[in-house]
Each structure stands twice: as structure tokens, then as C-alpha cells.
Amino acid sequence: MSKFLTISPSPHVKGEESVQKIMLWVILAMVPAMVWSFVVFGMGAIITTSVAILSCVFFEYAISRFILKTENSVGDLSAFLTGMLLAFNVPSSLPIWMIIIGALVAIGIGKLSFGGLGNNPFNPALVGRVFLLISFPVDMTSWPVNNNSGVDGVTGATPLGLVKEAISSGTPISQLTDQVPSNMDLFFGNIGGSLGEISAIALILGALFMLYKKVITWHIPVSILGTMFVFAGLLWTVDSEQFMNPMFHLLTGGAMLGALYMATDMVTSPMTPKGQLIYGIGIGIITISIRVFGAYPEGISFAILIMNAVTPLLNRYCKPKDFGRRAK
Amino acid sequence: MSVTILYTIVTLSAIGVLAATILYLTAQKFKVYEDPRIDDVDEALPGANCGGCGYAGCRAFAEACVSKNELSDLFCPVGGNDCMTDIAGILGLEAIKKDPRVAVVRCNGTCENRPKTNTYDGAVSCAIASSLYGGDTNCSFGCLGCGDCVEVCDFDAIKMDPETGLPVVIDDKCVACGACVDACPRDLIELRRKMPKDRKIFVGCRNMDKGAAAKKACTVACIGCTKCAKECPFDAITIENNLAFIDSDKCKLCRKCVVVCPTNAIQELNFPPRKVKAEKPAAKVEAKPVAKKEKPAATNNEESTEPKN
Amino acid sequence: MLKTFKIGGVHPAENKFSAGKQIETLPIPDMVTVPIAQHIGAPSTPVVKKGDEVKVGQLLAQSAGFVSANIHSPVSGKVFKIDDVLDSSGYKKKAIIIKVEGDEWEETIDRSTDLVKQTDLSPKEIVDRVAQSGIVGLGGATFPTHVKLAVPQGMTAEMLLINAVECEPYLTADHQLMMEKGAEIMVGIDLLMKAIGVKKAIIGIENNKPDAIKHLSQLAKEYAGVEVCALKVQYPQGGEKQLINAATGREVPSGALPISVGCVVNNVGTAYAVYEAVMKNKPLFERVVTVTGKSVSKPSNFMARVGMSVSQLVEAAGGLPEDTGKVISGGPMMGKALVTTDVPVTKGTSGVLIMREEEATRRTMKNCIRCAKCVSACPMGLEPYLLMTYAEKKMWEESEDSFVMDCIECGSCSYTCPADRPLLDYIRLGKGTVGQIMRSRKK
């Protein structure tokens, strides 16, 4: 027997879950997509991923140790995850120094400046990505050739970028069919793009694992993808020459990556199912609006960041299901 | 080109004038009359917004001063008499004088004096620990050491001593706002009259158990033996619930009670070392280490003066 | 699909090591300590004094008010002293200490084990007998049973719910009691139904006790209106409001009592105590206590007299293991950690759980990651993360507006938090403070 008995308020048992485990599960869920990106982009992807992860972990350690002088939080794996997500969001040809800058922004500004994991209002990896996108638009949007892609046309731009360019120059969509990859190619990832966004199937596999582990609930992904589908579908029915079909929207431009991995980030998404649904619908509408009407071909990063900012408000007004309080 | 500049200047000026007019009109329309003296009083206050006066903040206190038109039950403990005289000057009223006070922690249950009997592993909060159980020693009246008082202090005037596990008041910084008094679930902190040179004599114990039980839990517990009350020439000491209390308004710092206290529960702080008598309690400590483990008053004294000077 | 309550809940590892262990009767110790506050409400007033001879079942302390309960002597002997003793939370509380001499029972108590089924007592007489016998809720809350049975004016009870859920992990006292005293429990339920004037009773049992469900269903065939309801294993199903919701689908409104939806809930152990009190004239002075834990060599169910030292029970279960880190009175979710094992068994002691050192300490708290697991685990639909923040920041009004008073302190939030935040610790603080504020407002 130890020296003294321990006294603490109830409960005296604790569930198995921990922050570290949740992070680990998300990381595991991302492995299929990561492996696919290695297959498709080769060494470039491996270098990008390792640099992003290493620099995120390094900055987390260095900043919390030497600048903030707080407890070292590398162990919770959240920096590792941020690095991985950041790598998923950049092209594999991105210069290494840019990745490092992205990691610094993601960890330093996106996360630790707010007080570390749990206090950041925005998804750190997205902050890093958007910073890079705005600072180095050329490097961030020149995609390397996809080795497996059977379509010759998609070598310099993502399908979304291609379509955007075509539409703005007045080309009707029916003339693009031989340039735009088929839905099957999109689904399995035989396209160009950022590391993690190319293969919808790999991302969905990972998401199913997260659902099984209860890291995420269905509300956010379903509401985002559903809204995008409905909104894009409406536009498509109105004029299929001006607007792409909804499946195309779901499968391109990181919509899957965003809806399944970025928007579902616990810290920056609402807490109640109702809030999560509103949040998802918001992301869906903003994403399609940016893609169709905005200047950027791709919009989900901005949509998620915008809705991240709305999250505190949603938390405030969307209360959980009540028990016995309906009268009030 | 010059026409463009001209246009710009004219447009901007026009917008400026228009905005100014709107602002002026709105300000006039929604103007609320406020006694200008409130601002003056607010100015005279320390501006700490500590709530020690019983009002929500300095502004609320200033409003109360002006609206009540008398200062008999208004006192800013932070600013003290000087501040109240200033306010009285502004309002043309009479200010009451109060002795400056200082917070005193009435527990000396250090790890040595009061052995632990269990380990607390709940949330670090005295309020939570106190509502859960009697504490990690056998004394259910003493300091829990989670630092609720330190947390509420706006003036950094109370610090945890890592060695003793007890809070220490830094006299120079303490403004007697009373936040720590309210925060302590064990009612250990008292605001006592500030004595010359920060000297203090007080009963460093709140244990209301019977003597034997109290003594068993903590070597420096007050056992309610009444010796001090009998010794006190100024009737400053009362005994209630097996516990002595020294009224700081009556105490004249003669230190007679300290000498007679059999458990060293009465503490004296910031006194110069006693010439002859200081040796005695120290000698006793060495002779009977089990019975009296408390550090001699003189050592205590030096320790607590250090951070202040 | 098995029934359960509609929102929230967790499922901790059950660890029912002592399931199926026969209830053992313990030898009577030399000295017993009977606290005078063993129930919710006013502490009782002692009616014996130092030196008095007492018999088993004799009244020791009288109920002091409506919400209070009589306390009877668990042993025969001489009152040694009435003094303040350390209670389980380290505060001094008054207790009657009796030096045991022999085992002489009051003559009025029927000590035979024959099952008595028939009675011609009126409902009021039953309630009186329950009050006389000092029966309190034996699930652990120790709310005086006669108060529950007194249906307030203007309200009618529609049904009786028997709480045989035993949703706390580790504990098996109720389970074993059902297996061994099923027939008596059924009579007790019949008496309770008569006392509150209802024709329907539901016995809620969680699905992890199939033998008890089978046994009681068999017995219930003899009684019209009594049915056994198997429930999905989900903590905190044993909470009154959760049980009502699970078994009937009704929702007790915020701040109201179960009677507002026509239900009266009693524990299965209470039903047994009611049987003994009414049919055998035996007041409540002993109860079944589970002694268990991962390192306990002999996890057991004991019939223990009130006032026995917990250490005696622990000894009987094989002694305090070497690696003991924490001793809990009650279950792991809502039980109370003990400062020492030298505290008496009371009417509310449903179990003694001994936890190993490595289980005993909490992990360090981390930042909230807003995973909302506490929100989805809360059976009352509250937002624990928010209530904790309010309590930390002393925002009592906001706490009240967020329904902190609805918290049933089940601990599901703290259990589920991946960041190891002491949610319930702070919510309890908030609840206590808001409660005080509300009471002072009423005055």
C-alpha cells in the first residue's frame, strides 16, 4: 500500500480516450490518402510530407519551449497531425522553404499564438495553407504531372482550375469533356492536385475509420457534401453549359479532404449536432459560391476558415437536446 | 490632374463636415447629464476596480459617493484615508477615518506541523476540496493549499510558499480589499489592523476541535486553553469554540500571550528578535521535538520580512 | 432494441467481479459506531444516553423533522459514548458508539425466514411502518423512503418504478439480493404499490443481469400489474429521471420530482427493506454491501450491520491489497473516496471499492479540445464544458441560465473527457454555489 490513500471527487474511473489517441486515429485515417499520394507523386510527396511534419513538430517544440515557456505539447501529436494536413494541402512540387514557412505560420500563428491546442479559432493547417496560397500563388497552383493520369490535359492545373479558366473565357462545358477527367478518375485519384485531395476513395476510407472510432460524427461531412451537391446541382440544372455537374464539384478541389478532415477538426467546429449541421451547410454554400462566382477556382479552405469564425456564435445559439426543459 | 486632386479634397471635406454634423446632432440628442463630480471622484480613486469597497468597480463607487451625499459607510480600502480625504474635499463632505488593514493568514499548518494523512487528487481549487472533504490532514479547519486566495488577488499581494504549502501575504502590496477573505472556504484569512512596522500578533489557527484532537492533528493548533486570555492586559483575547481570537483593534503588541501559549499557536511577525526570551522557545523545540515542532517565532519573523524589504 | 434513456450516457467497463457470490453474514464486531446523520435531511436526535442498555432493533435516534429518518441499534449492548467521530469525508460528525454484548433482539422482530405475503394494513399504516423503521433509499442517495411514499396533494401516482438497474460498475449488491430474496422483494413491491395506491409496477433491470431478469419475471407472474423491463446497459440508467425515461418514455421536467409524471421510484434494496419492516417488523439496521476491486482477493457481497467498520468488511474480503491507492464507498462513478477504512458502514453504503494505485490517480488536465464528447455524454442535455468554464470564472448567473441545477452529478462528462478535465468537480462547485444563491434569493 502506498503511503496515503488518494482522495478525489467522483467519478473515480476514466474512459480510455485521450487527446493523443484521438490525434493518432485521425493520423491513421489519413494514411491511405498519404500512401496514394506517394504512389502518384513519388519522391516529391514523400519529401513534402516529411518536411511538413518535421517542421510543424519542430516549431511546436521550439515555440512552446523557448518563447512561451509552457509545457511541451508535442506529445499530444496535434502538431504531427497539423503537419500532415498541411502537406495534404500543398502541391508536391512546392519548394521546401515554403513548406517550412507554412508550418511556421500554421503552428506559430494559427495555433500557439492563441494558447495552443484547443484555443485556436481557426484550423492551423488551413491557416498555413491559405497563407501560402496568398503569398505564393504561382507555386501553390502549379501542380506536378500525375504519373497515373490517363488524361494528358491535366498537367498544369487542377480540374477545377481548368474548368474555371474555360468558363471565364467563354468556352461551354460540353466542349471540355475530353479535357476534364471522368468521375471515376476523380474518385480514385487519377488527377493532379495537392497531395491529399486527389483520391476521394482513400479519404472516404479514412473517414469511415474515424466514424467508427467516433472521432467525427456524420453531421459535418454529410451537411457539407450534401449542401454542395444540392447547390451545385441546382446551378447545373439551370444551365449545364455554364456550370459543372455536382459530382464533379464533390470530387474535386479538396472538397472531400476539407469536408472529412479539415472541417471536422474538433477544436474549430461547433459542438452540438444542430450547430454542426448549420456549420456544414454554411461551408457548402460558401464553397460553391467561391468556386462558381468568385475569383478562385477552389474555395473550401476559405469556406472552412469563414465558418470557423462563426463557430463560437453557433456554439452559443445551438444548444444540445434538452431533458425535461421544453417548457422553458 | 489638379482637378482630380481638387475634387478629392472637396469630396472628402464635404463628407467630413457632414459626418461631424451628424455626430454633433446625435451627441446632443442623446446626451445624458452626469454629475461632473463623478469624474472627479473617479479620478481620485486608485482605479484598481478590485471591488474591496463593496461596489462593482471604482466608477460605481464614485457614483455612490456622489449620489449618497455622505461618506459614512463608504470607504476605499485601497486608497485609504488619503484618498477618502481627497474625495471628501471634492464633494465638500466629511470622510470617516479608518485604520489601514492588512490580510493575515490564520493557519500555520506547514508540512512539518501538520502531517498529511491522504493525497488530494481532485481539481486544484480550495472550494472544491473543501466541499469534498476535510482536507489532506487531520485538521478539517486548516489551509487546503490550493491557492484560491492567490488566484483572486488582483494586487499580487499573496503568494504560495512552496516550502510550507501555505499562502504568505506581502504586506506592502496588500490593500485589504478582502477578495481573499471571501475566496477562502475555510475562513482563514482575516483583515487585521495594520500595526507599526507591519508587526503582527495573531492566533495562527482556526481549529475548533477540542484541544486533544486539535493538537493531534497539528502541533501548532490552538487548543483553547485560555492561558492567553488570562494573560492579556488589554482584554483583547476571547475564546470561543476552543479557539482563541485576538482583536487587532485592542491588541497593543505586548507579546505576553505569545510567551504563555503552550502550542506556539500565537504567531508574532516582524518583531525584532527577543533578546533573552527568544532563546527559550528555541531551546524547548530542540528538547521536545515531537511536542513542539513549530519554528521559533524569531525565525518565522526573519523569513517573512525578507521579501518585503 | 432494448429500451434506454433518450440522450447521453456512457458505458464504463462493468467489472462485476462479485457477481453470483452468495451474501455472507459477517460476525458482529466488539464495537459499532452509528452516525446520527445517515440520510439526506436533518440529522436524527439521539434518544439514548451513555450507559444505556440497548437491544438489536431498538430506537437509537429519532427522526428530526419530516425529511429525516429514525435510526435503530444494529447490535445489543451498552451505549459506550455519544461523541464526534471522523466521518468518511474527514469532518467530525456525531455518532452513537455501542459496546457489543451478545446478540439480543427486540421481541417484536420476527426472525424466522418464512415468507409472509398477506397483510391487512392500510396504505397509511404501511407508510407509518416504513417511517418508523427508518427506511431510506438504499441505492446510495439515502433519501427517506416515507417522504417519497407521501404523494403530495393534487398529484396522483400512476406507477411504481423499481430501480434494479445497478448501473454502477463493480457493484453487485442489488443483483445478488434479487437472486436470493426475490420472493421477499416481490412482496415488498406489492406493499409499496399499496402504499402509494397504484396498480402498476415496473422493475427496471439492465441486460447484463439476465439471471435476475429471468428470476424476477418468473416471480412477477403471481402479481398482477408487476412487470420486469429489461434495459440496455447504459450509465447512468439508475438515475431516477433516466430510469423513468428509459422505462416509460416520460420526461421529468427540470426541477420537478418524479411524481410530476406520475412515477415513484424506489430501489430494489429498499423494497426488500420495506418487506422486512412491514412483515417482519424489523427496522433497517443491516444491508448488503459489495466489497470488490481489481486486486481484492475475495470480492464478496456481505450482509453488514450499520456501524460496522469498513475495515472489517475489507478484512473479510481478503484484506486491503498491497497496491491499494484509493478506497471508495459506493461505486466508481458516484462513490465517495474514503480518507481511512476506519469509518462505519451506513445505510447508504452500497459497496466498498478498492482501487489500485495506478487506477487511483487522475491524469493531468489538458486544454479543452472542444470535442463535444461531454455534451453528447450528458444525460441531462447540458454543456459540461461550458458549465466548468463558468464555475472556474465564477460566473454564477450564467451557470444558472445554463441549467447547472439540472446536473445529476453522474460523472459521465468527466469520465468521457479525452483531455482529462475535472468537469464534474467544477460543475458540482457551480451547482452548490448557484443553489446557495437561489436559496438566499427565496428568503
What gap in Å lies between CA B55 and CA B63, rounded to an integer? 10
Chain A: residue nearest B136 by CA?
A7
Question: Is residue C102 in some structural domain?
Answer: no
Contact A118 C370 (CB under 8 A): yes
Question: Is residue B124 in some structural domain?
Answer: yes
- Residue B122: its chain C contacts at CB < 8 A? 362, 422, 425
Question: Is residue B25 in some structural domain?
Answer: no
- Is some CB atom of chain A closer than 8 A to the CB atom of C363? yes
Identify whether the C-beta of residue C272 lies closer than 8 Å to the C-beta of residue C184: yes
Question: Is residue B291 in some structural domain?
Answer: yes
DSSP B223: -
Cα dihedral B159, B163, B166, B172 in deg (nearest 10): -40
| C434 shares a domain with C309 | no
SS3 label, residue A318: coil
What gap in Å lies between CA B59 and CA C417, rounded to an integer? 42
Closest CA–CA distance from residue A64 to any residue of chain C (Å): 14
Q: How many Cα neighbours within 13 Å face the side chain of B272?
A: 3
State the pLDDT at residue C216.
Answer: 94
**Per CB distance under 8 Å, which residues of A are interface residues toward C?**
1-2, 5-15, 17-19, 21-22, 76, 115-119, 266-269, 271-272, 319-328
Q: Which of B114, B116, B120 to mutate to test the interface with A (most CBs of A within 10 A)?
A: B120
Contact B135 C360 (CB under 8 A): no
Identify whether the C-beta of residue A85 lies closer than 8 Å to the C-beta of residue A125: yes
- A30-34, A159-163, C188-192: least confidently modelled range: A159-163
Domain boundary among C309, C332, C361: C361
**Residue percentage of chain C with pLDDT more than 70:** 100
Identify whether the C-beta of residue B211 lies closer than 8 Å to the C-beta of residue B241: no
pLDDT tens, residue by residue, A41-66: 888 899 999 999 999 999 999 998 88
Tally of domains in chain C: 2
- Residue A325: its chain C contacts at CB < 8 A? 253-254, 381, 403, 406
| Residue C424, domain extent | 373-442
C positions 290-319 inside 8 Å of A (CB): none
A positions 5-24 inside 8 Å of B (CB): 5-9
pLDDT tens, residue by residue, C24-72: 999 999 999 999 989 988 999 999 999 999 999 999 999 988 899 999 9
- Residue C362: its chain B contacts at CB < 8 A? 121-122
Identify whether the C-beta of residue A279 lies closer than 8 Å to the C-beta of residue A305: no
SS3 label, residue B248: coil
Query: Bigger pLDDT: A32 or B288?
Result: A32
**Which residues of chain B, if any, have pLDDT below 70?**
1, 275-309
State the pLDDT at residue C327.
Answer: 93
What gap in Å lies between CA B241 and CA B225, rounded to an integer? 11
| B131 shares a domain with B234 | yes
Contact B134 C89 (CB under 8 A): yes
| C432 shares a domain with C314 | no
| Residue B218, domain extent | 101-305
Domain boundary among B47, B70, B91: B91
pLDDT tens, residue by residue, A95-153: 999 999 999 999 999 999 998 888 999 999 999 999 999 999 888 877 776 555 444 43
Q: Is the ipTM of this complex over 0.90?
A: no
Domain boundary among C361, C390, C420: C361
- Residue C328 to residues A6, A123, B54, C420, C435, Cα–Cα distance (Å): 10, 42, 43, 20, 26
Domain boundary among C361, C391, C416: C361
| B165 shares a domain with B273 | yes
Chain C: touching chains (3 or more CB pairs < 8 Å):
A, B
State the pLDDT at residue B303.
Answer: 40
- Residue C339: its chain B contacts at CB < 8 A? 117-118, 133-134
State the pLDDT at residue A249.
Answer: 87
CATH code of residue B87: 1.10.15.40
DSSP assignments along A31-65, one per residue? HHHHHHHHHHHTHHHHHHHHHHHHHHHHHHHHIII
C positions 212-241 inside 8 Å of A (CB): 241
- Residue B138: its chain C contacts at CB < 8 A? 86, 90
- Is some CB atom of chain A closer than 8 A to the CB atom of C353? yes
- A195-199, A216-220, C307-311, C402-406: least confidently modelled range: A195-199
